[in-house]
Amino acid sequence: MWARVAKFEGDPGDIDARVKKLRDALDSGDLPFDLGDAKFLLLVDRESGGTLGVTLFESEEALLKGHEAMNAGPGNAGSRASVEFYEVAIHTL
């Protein structure tokens, strides 16, 4: 399993609106094909307005395709500050 971890910055005052925008995009089922099997986790810091988006993929190939699709998308979590990739060594969910 592989993870794409994206850090976003934003105004603490609009954190709920950014979460809703992302939740609506996920709930709509209208995701790019390359994200169909991905799992999503969004961590929020209400004090700073920062968020950390973790997207889990079954393979490195799926991660790379998903990353490309996410870069082409509108961006829903705020202003992206960084993106990193990790191999998931332990996963208990």
Q: Where are the domains of the chain?
A: 2-87
Query: Around 11, how many Cα atoms within 13 Å sit in the side-chain half-sphere?
Result: 3
The token pair that represents 10 in the structure block:
């934003």
1.10.10.60, 3.30.70.100, 3.40.50.1970, 3.30.70.3450: CATH of 2-87: 3.30.70.100
The model carries a pTM of 0.83
Q: How confident is the model at residue 15 (pLDDT cuts 50, 70, 90)?
A: very high
Report the alpha-carbon distance of residue 70 to residue 41 in Å, rounded. 14
pLDDT of residue 69: 83
pLDDT of 78 reads 61
State CA 82 to chain mean position distance.
12
Q: Quick check: 77 pLDDT over 70?
A: no
